[in-house]
Amino acid sequence: GETILGNSFKLGPGGKGSNQAVAAGKLGADITFLTRLGVDAFADMAKQTWRDAGVKSAVIDTPASYTGAAYIFVEEGTGNNAIIVSPGAAMLISPDDIEAHAELIRSAGVFVTQLEQPIDAALKALEIARGAGVTTILNPAPAASLPDRIYTLCDYITPNETEAEGLT
C-alpha cells in the first residue's frame, strides 16, 4: 500500500438517507427517518442532528452492532471522490423491521430509500409504499445488482454516473 498525507479532516453526521431527511426537514417538510443504529456516540450525533433539523426518527437501537460510518476521500484538484461505507447496524434492518413500521411508510407522501441496507428490506419497503399509492424514490447506491421487480416499484431512480452505467 501507499501512505499519502492529507491536508484536512472533518467529522460529522451524514449518510445518504440522513442527509436527504435533514435537508427536507430544514426546509420545513414533515419527515420521519426509519433506520437501525448502534448504541454509540455516532448514534447520539445522528439523533441530535435529526432533532436539530426537525426530523422525527423511528430508530431501532441495535446494541450488538455499530452505527454506520462512511469515509469520504476527495481529490482536491479535481473534486473526484471515493467513498467507503461501513453500514453497521443499517445492514441488519430486515423485512420484518420494515413490516413493523408499515403504517409509517403507508402514511408518507413520498418514500425515499437507498441500498446501504439489505436489498430485501428496501424491496419490502418499496412494496408497502407502492401498495399505498405513495410516490417512491430509489437512490441505487451503493451500486448493486438489483432484481428486475424493484424497477416497477419506483417512480424515480436517482443514480450517479457510476450507478447509471451499471443499471444500463
Q: Which three cell numbers stand for residue 140?
A: 441505487
> Which domains, from first to last, does the chain contain?
12-91 (3.40.1190.30), 93-168 (3.40.50)
Q: Which three cell numbers stand for residue 13?
A: 453526521
Is the pTM higher than 0.85? The answer reads yes
Contact (CB, 8 A) for 89 and 62: yes
Summarize pLDDT for 20-76 with one digit per residue, the tens: 999 999 999 999 999 999 999 999 999 999 999 999 999 999 999 999 999 999 998
Residues paired with residue 156 on neighbouring β-strands, in sequence order: 137
Summarize pLDDT for 116-155 with one digit per residue, the tens: 999 999 999 999 999 999 999 999 988 888 999 999 999 9
- CA angle in degrees (0–180, nearest 5) for 148-158-44: 105
